[in-house]
Structure 1
Amino acid sequence: MNIVPSSIQEQINRVDRQRSLYIGISTGLVAVWSFFRLIWMLYIGMTFGWYFGAMAFQVVLWGVIGTGAAIASVGFLTRYNKSS
């Protein structure tokens, strides 16, 4: 099962193998940072109360960034693992 769409996978396959490792690691770190931010916002919201407008925007923003970074990371690291 592949979570990366085939049209995007074709674009990723054009990238050099070594560069795809760097991009995969970088986007993986962004995904981890986004997950950390979501957990931290959950803690802050439960501790100090939910300011719905600002909190909802931030949760959606970091959720979208993290999801996009995770998909990109999987795609580029899969490209790196393929033998050239």
Structure 2
Amino acid sequence: MKILPAPIAQQIDRVDRQYSLYIGISTGLLAFWSIYRVLWSIYLAVTYNFIFGSLVFPIVLWAVIGVGAAVVSLGFFTRYRTGSATGTVESRPETNQI
């Protein structure tokens, strides 16, 4: 199942394999940090319900950032997992059995 459109996947495939690992790890950390910020903001909004109106924007903002970072991280981890060191996509050799 592909979550990225073909033009974006082609752009990701142009990135070096090692850099795609770095980008995947950093955006994955950003996604986890965003989840933490959303959960912490929801906790504050529930605990102090009089400031809920002021926390709607940060909750939505960090949720959008987290979803975007998770999609980017998944795309680059997929590139790292399936790509070779030369930048071409690896394929499994077919075995011909008689």
Same fold (TM over 0.5): yes
- Shorter-chain TM range is over 0.9
With the length of structure 2 as denominator, give the TM-score of the two structures: 0.80
Runs (4+) off by over 2 Å: 50-54
5 Å matches for 1:51-62? Answer: 51-62=51-62
**Which is further off, 1-10 or 70-79?**
1-10
Compare the two structures and name the one with the higher helix fraction: 1
Number of aligned residues:
84
Structure 1: stretches of 5+ with no match in the other structure:
none
Higher RCO, Cα 8 Å, sep 6+? 1
Counterpart amino acid of residue 66 in structure 2 = G
CA RMSD of aligned residues (A): 1.1
Q: Deviations over 1:2-52 (max 9, x none)?
A: 112211111000000000000000000000000011111111111111534
With the length of structure 1 as denominator, give the TM-score of the two structures: 0.93
Structure 2: stretches of 5+ with no match in the other structure:
85-98
